[in-house]
Amino acid sequence: MIVVENLNYSVASAQILTDVSVTLPKGGITALIGPNGAGKSSLFSHIARLLPMQSGRITVDGMDVAPANRQALARKLAILPQQVHFATRLTVKELVQFGRYPHCQGRLGAEDHEMVEASLAAFGLTALADRFLDTLSGGQRHKAHVAMTYAQDTGYLLLDEPLNNLDIAASRALMTLLRWLADEEGKTIVIVLHDINFAAHYADHLVVLKDGRIEREGSPVDMVTGALLADVFGTDAQVALVGATPFVMP
């Protein structure tokens, strides 16, 4: 369970987050959605400790997200930032091995090697293990990054807009993978998403942000309605139901 209490964040007199308090449930996929500039990424960055906290408190399973708990948090919570560009040339295996760093500080033991092999196998990357990352397609590279966080062996996985620059096949493959992690491996996934349809189809819980505040939260069926699109996103879009899943007509 990730608990955010009274989080405020401002940059040079612009208030980005205003008194945000929200509880993200343990288990399943929770998606943060909202229009551009709503503060989704800022909220994400605070939970991921990428931004120093100005006021408020965030705990992960009761552990404070503070510099003092850096190492312990790295074994509890893994993050996948938006755009990762490495200056060095890395192979898939080297990248996945870095995921073990919080556990072994770079000295890989037998257990760590096992975990690396298991991650490579789980994501179908064994054949690509010795390929350099810059020779892979966008989808494969994403998979390698998720494999790294899998090797990190954390209960929580946070992803910031992972579907950017991915085509429909790669996007669906990645979301299916996350669904599998949540359902079969019991991980808690928190994901910032732009595409409401992806959020409605794959997530269990939606948190809607607008103007730096939590606007509403709940299950996709309750959340994704014409009223939400009009109130929060300011656009008149039709919402259809495909099976039990709401679908926003573009």
Partner 1 sequence: MRARSMLICGVLLTVCCGLFMTLEARGNWDFVLWFRGRKLAALLLVGVAVSTATLLFQTISRNHILTPSTMGFDALFTLIVTLAVFTIGAAGYNHLPSELVFFVNLFLLIGAALLLFGTLLGQHRVDLMRMVLTGIIFGFLFRSLTSFVFRMIDPSEFATIQVSSYARFNYIELNLLWLAAGLTLVTLLLCWRMRRQLDILSLGFEIATNLGEPVAKRQKQALVLVAVLVAVSTALVGPVAFLGLLVVSIARLIAPNETHAMLIPLSALIAGIVLVGGQTILERVLGMSTPLAVVIDFVGGFVFLALLLRKGWT
**C-beta of residue 214 within 8 angstroms of C-beta of residue 38:** no
Of 85, 110, 240, 249, which one interacts with partner 1 (CB under 8 A)? 85
Place of tokens 């755009």: 83
Spatial neighbors of 223 by CB under 8 A, at least 6 apart, are: 200, 206, 208, 216, 217
Q: Which two tokens stand for residue 209?
A: 């942000």
Strand-by-strand arrangement of the 28-33 sheet: 77-80, 156-160, 188-192, 28-33, 205-210, 213-218
Shortest Å, Cβ 221 to partner 1: 33
Give the distance from CA 126 to its chain's centroid: 24
Shortest Å, Cβ 66 to partner 1: 12
Q: Which is nearer to partner 1, 46 or 201 (CB)?
A: 46
Q: Which is nearer to partner 1, 158 or 232 (CB)?
A: 158
Residues 49-68 that bind partner 1 (CB under 8 A): 49-51, 67
Residues 107-136 that bind partner 1 (CB under 8 A): 107
Shortest Å, Cβ 39 to partner 1: 17
When asked if residue 144 is in the footprint of partner 1 (CB under 8 A), the reply is no
When asked if residue 25 is in the footprint of partner 1 (CB under 8 A), the reply is no
**C-beta of residue 181 within 8 angstroms of C-beta of residue 153:** no
Pairing of strands 77-80, 245-248: unpaired
Of 60, 73, 116, 146, which one interacts with partner 1 (CB under 8 A)? 73
Q: Which is nearer to partner 1, 89 or 113 (CB)?
A: 89
CA torsion 198-202-207-208 (nearest 10°) is 20
When asked if residue 188 is in the footprint of partner 1 (CB under 8 A), the reply is no
Q: What is the gyration radius of the CA atoms in the chain, in angstroms?
A: 18
When asked if residue 210 is in the footprint of partner 1 (CB under 8 A), the reply is no
Shortest Å, Cβ 82 to partner 1: 8
Place of tokens 């293990």: 129
Q: How many residues bind partner 1 (CB under 8 A)?
A: 33
- Side chain identity, residue 115: M
Residue ranges binding partner 1 (CB under 8 A): 48-51, 67, 70-75, 78-81, 84-91, 94, 98-99, 101-102, 105-107, 149, 152
